Structure 1
Amino acid sequence: MDFDLPESAVAVRDGVAAVAAKYDHAYWSACEDEHRFPSEAWRDLADGGWIGLCVPEEHGGGGQGMLELAVACETLAASGGTAAIFLYILTPGFGAMTLARHGTEEQQRRILPGIAEGRTQFCMALTEPDAGSNAVEIRTSARLDGDELVVRGQKIWISGVENAEWMLVVARTTPAAEAREKLGSRTAGFTLLLVDVKAALADGTLSYTPIPKLGGNVVTSSQVFLDDVRVPLSHVVGPVDGGFPVLWDVLNPERILAAAGGVGGAEAALRLAADYASTREVFGRPIGANQAIQFPLAQLKAKTELARLMTYQAAWLFDQGRPCGNETNIAKLTAAQVAWESANQAFQTFGGMAYSKEYPVERLFRDSRIGKNIPVAEELILAHIGTQMLNLPRSY
């Protein structure tokens, strides 16, 4: 077994780190406080080729895989851009990776060069008010009308709509009851399609309302309303009525990138805590010399390394075209937990000063908490591990 990162991933790590070094904690805190997209960092990453990593070379990208993308996401988060992992989840993950694997030649020619150049951004619309983690129960419909699908429904917690040119929408082209009866499966009848966001906003068939939220405000999360959005059949990704396997090939990368962001977020918090504990003196010595401070941080560093290994394994399996659901879920679970625990321990290490916006600990504290809930709640991951890996009875 070879645990060395391939040269391609090392180059990505070093390249993204060089760009990220230009954007310190103060930059990311300012973007957060101003609810501002980090356009300067986005432009620098795109110009360096670090956004188009998984765009095939023939479309202007780097032709890399999920491992390199995960390393890029981790590195950006570790630099302090803990909410900036959305830069990698939304466009390279939902957009480039999905189209590179499942898009038609026409879709790839039309969209991928723009992603590689940083001109084109993506978002994805799956979650609904009454169908959060239970994606099978989504109600957004897409009915056939000539050579178009007419999409109607409501989505929630859709991040990045305000900057997106394209939205990957999951809709039902066959109602649930009919799909079970005629197609033989509760996961049949789903279709993935590409909505031209700017055009739909312009004609009034798509609208969105931002949701005020605790953190992660470098991107907006919104309720999205689709009121008879017309989508050409040429914008369908994968087969009509057979989109669920394609959807899993979107969700696994999302979870891997979320795990990578969690690992990077843990590193960012631990670095802040270790630096502070090394210089902050109480009772005549650095507080980091006290085992009550040092040992919890050391324990979390060990957990971070374990989460990193699991994330890299999941990414490697995905790139090999092998089943990776178990590894992906374990990576996401452990990385989200250690990111939150590290931010929480950093908060404790800073003492009362952690509550001040003078330090970025409060931002990392807020950014890290949501990872335990998205893109999938840890309770559902534990249910997956229990039923799929331990063969325990289903509870849902």
Structure 2
Amino acid sequence: MDFDLPESALAVREGVAAVAARYDHAYWSRCEAEHRFPAEAWRDLADGGWIGLTVPEEYGGGGTGMLELAVACETLAASGGTAGTFLYILTPGFGATTLARHGTEEQRREILPGVADGSTQFCLALTEPDAGSNAIEIRTSARREGDELVVRGQKIWISGVENATWMLVVARTTRAEDAQEQLGSRTAGFTVLLVDVAEARDAGTLSWTPIPKMGGNVVTSSQVFLDDVRVPLDRVVGEVDQGFRVLWDVLNPERILAAAGGVGAADAALRLAADYARERVVFGRPIGANQGIAFPLAQVRAKTELARLMTYKAAWLFDHGRPCGNETNIAKLTGAQVAWEAADRAFQTYGGMAYSQEHPVERLFRDARIGRNIPVAEELILAHIGTQMLDLPRSY
């Protein structure tokens, strides 16, 4: 076994860290307060080649894998850009990785160079108001009319649509009640489509309403309405009715990158807490000398390293075409939990000052909490571990 990161991943860590160093906690807090996309950081990351890492070299990208992308995401979050995890999930994760694996040559040639240079962004429209984590129950439909599919439905918690060039839409081309009988599986009947966001918006068939939220406001999350959006058949990703095969190569990278962002967020929170614990003097000594402060931080440091190892393992398995569902779920679970624990301990270390927006701890605290619920709730991950790894009976 070799636990050394490859040279490619080490180069990514060094390169992203150099870019991230230009954007301190104050920058990310300003973007959060203004509900503003971090366009400057995005541009610098793209110019350095750190967005197009998984774009094949023939389309202008780095030609690397999920491990390098996870390291990039982790490094950005560790710098203080904790909500920057969205930047890596949305476009390199949903866009580049999906098309590199499942796109047609025409799709890759048209879209991937823009991902590589940062001029193209992506979002994913999967979740629905009445079908959250239960994707099999989605009702957005795509009916065929000639050489087009006409998409109608509603999606919710769709992040990044306001900046997206392309939206990956998951729709039913065969009704749920017919899928088992006609196609032999409940997971059949889904199709993944590329929707040109500007084209559909200008046609009046695509609209969205932002959802006010607690944190992560560098990227807007919206309720999306698809009112007979017309999608040419050549914009199907994979095969009609077989979209679930594509979807697993969307969801596993999403969980790996969410885990990486959680690990990086834990690093950021622990660094702030340790610095403050060394500097803050109470009763004649630094508060970090008190075991009541030091031990909880040390415990979270240990958990962070465990989550990091599982994240790297899941990414390595994905890159090698190996089954990785269990590992991606465990990585996401532990990465999200350690991000929250680190933010909570940093908050406690700062005491009352953590409640002030003059310090970045309150932003890290808000950013960390949602990770336990998205992209999949930890209860569903635990149910997966129970049934798939412990052979326990299903609860749903």
TM over 0.5, shorter chain:
yes
Aligned to 1:54: 54
Count of residues in correspondence between the two structures: 396
C-alpha separation between the residues in 1 aligned to 2:269 and 2:252?
26
Aligned: 1:65 with 2:65: yes
Deviations 1:197-252 (A, max 9, x none): 00001110000000000000000000000000000000000010011011011100
C-alpha separation between the residues in 1 aligned to 2:182 and 2:168?
26
Aligned: 1:329 with 2:329: yes
Aligned to 1:187: 187
Aligned: 1:217 with 2:217: yes
Q: CA deviation at 1:136?
A: 0.2
Structure 2 residue runs without a partner (length 5+):
none
Deviations 1:242-288 (A, max 9, x none): 11011011100000000000000000000000000000000000000
Q: Percent identity?
A: 85
Give the aligned residue type for 2:342: S
C-alpha separation between the residues in 2 aligned to 1:305 and 1:311?
10
SS in structure 2 of the partner of residue 162 of structure 1: coil
Q: Which runs of 4+ in 1 moved over 2 A?
A: none
SS in structure 2 of the partner of residue 161 of structure 1: coil
Aligned to 2:42: 42
C-alpha separation between the residues in 2 aligned to 1:218 and 1:47?
20
Give the aligned residue type for 2:249: D
Aligned to 1:115: 115
Q: How does 1:360-379 map to 2 (within 5 A)?
A: 360-379=360-379
Give the aligned residue type for 1:167: M
Aligned: 1:100 with 2:100: yes
SS in structure 2 of the partner of residue 367 of structure 1: helix
TM-score of the aligned structures, taking structure 1 as reference length: 1.00
Give the aligned residue type for 2:365: F
TM-score of the aligned structures, taking structure 2 as reference length: 1.00
Aligned: 1:271 with 2:263: no
Deviations 1:44-81 (A, max 9, x none): 00000000000000000000000000000000000000
C-alpha separation between the residues in 1 aligned to 2:102 and 2:183?
22
C-alpha separation between the residues in 1 aligned to 2:64 and 2:35?
31
Q: CA deviation at 1:32?
A: 0.1
Aligned to 1:394: 394
Aligned to 1:169: 169
C-alpha separation between the residues in 2 aligned to 1:39 and 1:249?
27
Aligned to 1:308: 308
C-alpha separation between the residues in 1 aligned to 2:315 and 2:175?
34
Aligned: 1:338 with 2:338: yes
C-alpha separation between the residues in 2 aligned to 1:41 and 1:245?
33
Aligned to 1:154: 154
Q: CA deviation at 1:180?
A: 1.3
C-alpha separation between the residues in 2 aligned to 1:355 and 1:149?
50
Deviations 1:330-351 (A, max 9, x none): 0000010000000000000000
Q: CA deviation at 1:322?
A: 0.2
SS in structure 1 of the partner of residue 162 of structure 2: helix
Aligned: 1:76 with 2:81: no
SS in structure 1 of the partner of residue 191 of structure 2: strand
Deviations 1:77-107 (A, max 9, x none): 0000000111100000000000000000000
Q: CA deviation at 1:181?
A: 1.2
SS in structure 1 of the partner of residue 170 of structure 2: strand
Give the aligned residue type for 1:159: S
C-alpha separation between the residues in 2 aligned to 1:147 and 1:47?
38
Aligned to 1:131: 131
Give the aligned residue type for 1:161: V
SS in structure 2 of the partner of residue 144 of structure 1: strand
C-alpha separation between the residues in 1 aligned to 2:167 and 2:342?
34
Deviations 1:338-365 (A, max 9, x none): 0000000000000000000110000000
Aligned to 2:227: 227
SS in structure 2 of the partner of residue 223 of structure 1: strand
C-alpha separation between the residues in 2 aligned to 1:10 and 1:29?
28
SS in structure 2 of the partner of residue 278 of structure 1: helix
C-alpha separation between the residues in 1 aligned to 2:25 and 2:117?
26
Aligned: 1:246 with 2:246: yes
C-alpha separation between the residues in 2 aligned to 1:275 and 1:257?
27
C-alpha separation between the residues in 2 aligned to 1:326 and 1:161?
30
C-alpha separation between the residues in 2 aligned to 1:16 and 1:249?
25
C-alpha separation between the residues in 2 aligned to 1:35 and 1:163?
13
SS in structure 2 of the partner of residue 52 of structure 1: coil
C-alpha separation between the residues in 2 aligned to 1:355 and 1:36?
22
SS in structure 1 of the partner of residue 222 of structure 2: strand
Q: CA deviation at 1:16?
A: 0.1
Aligned to 1:354: 354
